[in-house]
Amino acid sequence: HQAQGVVHSSFRRLSSREKKEMQREILSILGLPGRPRPHPPLRPPSSAPLFMLDLYHAVSAEGDEGNGIGNEVGGLGHAALPTLSTHTPPLGTVVSEADTVMSFVNLVEQERDLLQPRPYWKEFRFDLTPLPQGETVTAAEFRIYKTLTMGQRANRTLHISVYEIQRESKHREPELVLLDIQSVPAGQEGWLAFDVTSASNRWLLHPRSNLGIRLYVETEEDRSLSAGWVGLVGRRGPRSKQPFMVTFFRASQVPCRPPR
Amino acid sequence: ALKPNPRKRKPKYDLPLPSIHDHSHVNSGRQACKRHELYVSFSDLGWKDWVLAPSGYSAFYCDGECLYPLGSCMNATNHAMIQLVVHLLKPDEVPKACCAPTKLSPISVLFYDDNNNVILKKHRNMVVKTCGC
């Protein structure tokens, strides 16, 4: 509407009582929490919002036309943020059937890099406390951006694997469960999407079990490389390329619209 | 060729002959049943930094007359037509056909939560798409 400038906001013409009622209806219909977030950060990461905005437009277009564009949406999601991998699960139906999609950016990063003994790894931990209760995870992805780095043999193949960290103890290596692995050419650039659905389900049911995920990079000759060295962007990278997680949910009960 | 006597009132149940261009009820200021929109921009609510999309909310509602569902610009169920005829015969017992939503469409919203995570919520069958009698 705004783009067409056809319909103007009529809010100002309402009386204060009507304004309150209208606001209450909007919050209820859109399933929004009772109030805006307290302190918007000055410069939040923009990678997740850009991805989610893309998803929003695809989902809205699907709603308007009433036709299933599931596969297209899956493709679209990738088209907007091209990934290097063909292993990503088919998100089309997952996106079409999702009631809620959440992206997580609050990130704790640790890594073992060039200054320490191999194998090198990088850990990512998201704050998943806001996971909506009463909804089930249908799919979850960890997205990280790979840039081009100097000194890389472009045709070399990198094997990037992501593990869920289970049961950590101070004196021993944690237990790791493989979630996904992608083989990517060292000379290409773009988003990588790793399927972390099984870990997300566990974290939703047992929030304390969320110890994060660990990422390893190896060459064909099983030589361990540092994530930063092969161009994987961390939370100190450009805002539009910082890593994030996205989780798709289905609601267990169908919300009904309150009468106006 | 005699002109009817203007004083003589038309009988109440005199249904006009339906014609495809019959807009008489519209001209008399009574709007036919249709969807109306009250658009609220989120900027007005001070939510611009909170809700990423859409840019506003359209509070659609159905309003208008269902007196002549046979008119060209109105979609009406058979039930509404029958109800109108019965109403004309027994106005005290059967109400007129009413203007109501006939199709609902989904609505989605993209917003920040308290932890600056971005959330996309999709609600099916939540806003009025079309109205009818």
**Which residues of chain B make contact with A10, given a CB cutoff of 8 A?**
38-40
Give the DSSP letter of residue A234: -
Interchain CB contact of A171 with B (< 8 Å): no
Structure tokens at A84: 């290097």
- Nearest by Cα to A196 from A118, A89, A112, A123: A89
Contact B41 A103 (CB under 8 A): no
**Which residues of chain B make contact with A52, given a CB cutoff of 8 A?**
52, 110, 118-120
Which of A4, A10, A57 to mutate: most B Cβ within 10 Å?
A10
**Which residues of chain B make contact with A104, given a CB cutoff of 8 A?**
117
- Nearest by Cα to A229 from A150, A118, A162, A115: A150
Give the DSSP letter of residue A119: S
Strand partners, A107: A126
The 10s digit of each residue's pLDDT in A92-125 is 777 888 889 999 876 788 887 767 777 899 999 9
Q: What is the pLDDT of residue B48?
A: 83
Nearest-by-Cβ selection for B55 from A2, A26, A36: A2
Contact B119 A100 (CB under 8 A): yes
Interchain CB contact of B98 with A (< 8 Å): no
Secondary element (H or E) of residue A52: helix A47-65
Residues 34-93 on B with a CB inside 8 Å of A are 37-41, 43-47, 49-59, 61
Contact B107, A30 (CB under 8 A): yes
Q: Count how many pairs of residues, chain A against chain B, have C-beta atoms within 8 Å.
A: 139
**Which residues of chain A make contact with B124, given a CB cutoff of 8 A?**
254
Interchain CB contact of A79 with B (< 8 Å): no
Interchain CB contact of A29 with B (< 8 Å): yes
What is the pLDDT confidence band of residue A89, given thresholds at 50, 70 and 90?
very low
Q: What is the pLDDT of residue B84?
A: 81
What is the pLDDT confidence band of residue A36, given thresholds at 50, 70 and 90?
confident
- C-alpha separations of B105 from A62, A64, A225, B60, B126 in Å: 11, 7, 51, 11, 6
Q: What is the pLDDT of residue A190?
A: 94
Give the DSSP letter of residue B74: -
The 10s digit of each residue's pLDDT in A149-202 is 776 677 789 999 999 998 777 777 788 999 999 999 988 899 999 999 999 988
If one counts every other C-beta atom within 10 angstroms of the C-beta of residue A32, the result is 18
Q: What is the ipTM, given to two decimal places?
A: 0.78
Share of chain A above pLDDT 90, in %: 29
| ∠ CA A210-A211-A212, rounded to 5° | 95
Contact A46, A239 (CB under 8 A): yes
